[in-house]
Amino acid sequence: MQRIAAAAAGTRSAGAAQTTLAAAWGTDVDATDLLRRALVLCADHELNAATFAVRVAASTGASLPACLLAGLATLSGPLHGGATDRLRAMMGEPGLRGDPARAVAARLARGEDLPGFGHRLYPQGDPRAAALFADLAPGRTWRRLLCAVEDQTGRRPNIDAALVMLEDALHLPVGAAMAVIVAGRSAGWIAHALDQRRNGSLIRLRAVYGGPIRETVYPAAAA
């Protein structure tokens, strides 16, 4: 995990993951503790797409680096690991910073999503985000956005929003939110891979054909 954190932060330091990230990004002691908490919160999240990919790779006997690559490749998909980038882009829109409530209403009217808000597993709010918000004071724009989204949709921020807010509050480099996710989740992926190896069985799902059934007509036998 330390080496992955160092790679994510573009440094050669080999200390604890949170210390490595904090040193590379020039943060203070309080920020280091927030980064530690974020890494722990990102370590595992059941069998999401990337973690399942890791377990599938591990079930074949693939090496740990190969299993991690399977997880990273899956996480790179915009429908899985792209929420932090989309939320950051949304936060950069002039209209949102000027009038978040109006900007949210306009996005909803256009049928656009609100990245970083809501989670089908946590209809009452993502507890991972709440754990970070406990010691993270959002700025005025963030506070107005959080209120606007909840007022208009009932959705609360998830871990992606919390990490982008952390990136913003600590003045971390762009992309730090995803670096924290990757560094933290890698520890969980390794645990899943080792557990799957102990299971000793190949993950092999079945596919059931659901298309039209046509009767096969064989040519008549020669007389």
Q: Which residues are catalytically annotated?
A: 119, 160
From residue 121, alpha-carbon distances to 180, 215, 216, 218 in Å are: 21, 44, 46, 52
114 Cβ contact partners less than 8 Å away, ≥ 6 residues apart:
90, 104, 107, 108, 149, 153, 155
Instruction: Say how far apart CA 106 and CA 123 lie, in whole Å.
Output: 23
Instruction: Say how far apart CA 157 and CA 133 lie, in whole Å.
Output: 10
Q: What share of the chain is helix, strand, coil (3-state, %, to 5)?
A: 60, 0, 35
Backbone φ, ψ for residue 157 (5° rounding): -65, 145
Spell out the alpha helix ranges (H) of 10-125: 17-25, 29-42, 49-59, 64-75, 78-81, 83-91, 94-98, 100-109
CB 55 within 8 A of CB 203: yes
Centroid of chain to Cα 141:
23
CB 63 within 8 A of CB 49: no
